[in-house]
Structure 1
């Protein structure tokens, strides 16, 4: 099959290409990138005038809720949401029911995702059995089955010795740990940032909850040599500690979610809307400024969504009783463009780096690069399109977003996955 993407601005961080060109895709791969490609016998032509043509986005942090919580999301609906948002690869977290702590559950997700066939789903294995923090999962069995990404997402492994043991096993396999940093006993029932506790009459969560585990696990990563990736960083401290770790040569990276670089805790209107309830919580404007600066100067490597769908009934509960989390797959690119690119923190090339090239390198996969001969995972993004967020139009089952009714700039126009058009 031949597809031509015409008149686009081709942006490819792998070779620093940034040029107006036509892209010819043939038999699933990038065949040529030229000032003009003759349409000839092309099966499809995509007009990318005014658009950026970039490697397909890669999300290192997604909750598909399947198996066990399919009233919130399924592998199928999660994949459709990913396609809608321009993602061609996603990493699914392990806190399903049952937990992905064994080869059988791991294979269930892999097989179902492969059958859907529009997005590559990399399933993470849990670090401990049942996410209980008491005994390691069958890490060697999961590794033998092909798992290379591990996370206790939703909580931290509070036993430092157990975490170090896991790091040694995962390091030996060449795997990566995606680290949810949360000192659970220190949370003490908190649901919002500590600084807004009084205004909202809700128990607070301090920055130390995140920072303490970030520092501990950086120290353990230094000792064991494992690749440690800090998930959903939200504090000034996380930026500082990540910078120091990189300066010390520790194998560590970090991500920031669009909600954390777009909103602060001061933006929560009152204690009635649980769509603003997430973990980590929205932080102060000073934290937001540090996150944006850290993204701009390369301290933070990736932008990930922490896409966490819940039912409307669950999110309609009080702020105290509603679950943590918001959806993000279908708004991430627009928020990145609206806040970071248009705000001067990232160039279009930087956006492609944070949303595709860098995640591919951390994960050790051959994606994030649309050089000639490579697999044609491509997103066509219109940076000028203004649209209003309407959760009722989401492909995800989840409608839980604080961005409802917000005007954003930038929209995914088309997506190719392995050379096949999945969105146009």
Structure 2
């Protein structure tokens, strides 16, 4: 039987009182102020914050098919180092999980190779692009946590309508990567800065036109529709209005869209600032921050998108879209939102644990109490840390946050009562 004792930890709900947490056989066995237990491994938290393990509903682990970028093993190590104990892996891999057989292999592989809980999305339609939908009910029965064509926008309204109807029958969420191909074109940055950079721009309507369509379809079908990586002011307003009208919609925003905007591209011209959706204007960034704070946006998700050095070589035109995010998410949010007083730790806990677990009906624990499954994370809120390229557990280090000073690095991560990450 696994036995682990965490000493002197701080809880979000009671920051003034340090607690001890005893873990036995995958569960929290006791919580107290000065537990004395013999024959257990002890972690002295030294005042670090203890939280239910973080949940990320949007990661790319590239496995199978692109394991030079990431694998289930390295991706789950990155998740553990970031304090995440449950992640949802997107289906834009090779082969795409279109069938029950393919999905079943991925579910087994995730379980066998993952250090954390890795739930698997299945594709809405074949190869993420076909206009006819897959057997969503059958895929749900095989283990699909939700459905998405992430990496591709669903171009046909008829396809999305059929998918929503099937998702209702399957009792699963439809998560949408919003990208109208005609409006996206060959754009690589937000349209507002394209001319200055002398590259093709991405019209914000590529996001909002599909969003408006899908919200109407969600209202008509009653489907639970989830908006991936919302990035525009108009998009926030559309989601806010839809919620007022009773549409079952949830939305996520990434740390990079909360903290960066097009001014960073002008200042740094770093290819690690190239992502899809692109960094938007300062007005858009302010809107997604406001939307997160007022509850229009429900959660934060990293859209962890690892790439090789070669993928990210070149310029804004030739480099691949996407950045990693699992290992920097919590410290970035804590440093830039909590420490300045913009948000509270309770809000961060809701965005990174309670809201995603509730929205996707996950078994991930959302409280710290006796009898609860021991999925936990500890974070050092007191000491500064400079993010270094050579410290990442992910195979890839394509992030614009290298060199940034942050607070809130992960001290330890525990999954099913097992210590899966501990800082040096």
Partner of 2:406: 408
Partner of 1:24: 22
Deviation for aligned residue 1:171: 0.9
Q: TM-score, normalised by structure 1?
A: 0.95
Query: Does the alignment pair 1:330 with 2:327?
Result: yes
Partner of 2:87: 90
Measure, in 1, the Cα distance between the counterparts of 2:363 and 2:34. 27
Measure, in 2, the Cα distance between the counterparts of 1:236 and 1:107. 39
Partner of 1:177: 174
Partner of 1:298: 295
Measure, in 1, the Cα distance between the counterparts of 2:198 and 2:279. 16
- Unpaired segments ≥5 residues, structure 1: none
Q: Is the 8 A contact 1:11 1:19 kept in 2?
A: no
1:313-335: CA deviations, max 9, x gaps?
11012211221111111111111
Measure, in 2, the Cα distance between the counterparts of 1:175 and 1:18. 40
Measure, in 2, the Cα distance between the counterparts of 1:391 and 1:134. 41
Q: Is the 8 A contact 2:180 2:209 kept in 1?
A: yes
Query: Does the alignment pair 1:200 with 2:168?
Result: no
Deviation for aligned residue 1:19: 5.0
1:221-277: CA deviations, max 9, x gaps?
111111111110111112111111111111111111011111111101478532111
Deviation for aligned residue 1:189: 1.0
Deviation for aligned residue 1:117: 4.5
Q: Is the 8 A contact 2:70 2:394 kept in 1?
A: yes
- Cα–Cα, structure 1 residues 157 and 414, in superposed 2: closer, same or farther, change >3 Å? same
Deviation for aligned residue 1:100: 1.4
Q: Is the 8 A contact 2:73 2:115 kept in 1?
A: no
Partner of 1:131: 128
Within a 5 Å distance, the mapping from 1:11-410 to structure 2 comes to: 11=12, 20-38=18-36, 40-269=37-266, 273-367=270-364, 368-410=366-408
- Cα–Cα, structure 1 residues 41 and 323, in superposed 2: closer, same or farther, change >3 Å? same
Measure, in 2, the Cα distance between the counterparts of 1:32 and 1:17. 19
Q: Is the 8 A contact 2:151 2:177 kept in 1?
A: yes
Range moving further from structure 2, 222-231 or 267-276: 267-276
Tell me how large the CA RMSD over aligned residues is.
1.6
Measure, in 1, the Cα distance between the counterparts of 2:16 and 2:300. 21
Range moving further from structure 2, 351-360 or 29-38: 29-38
1:37-77: CA deviations, max 9, x gaps?
12x22421112223111010101000010111111111111
Q: TM-score, normalised by structure 2?
A: 0.95
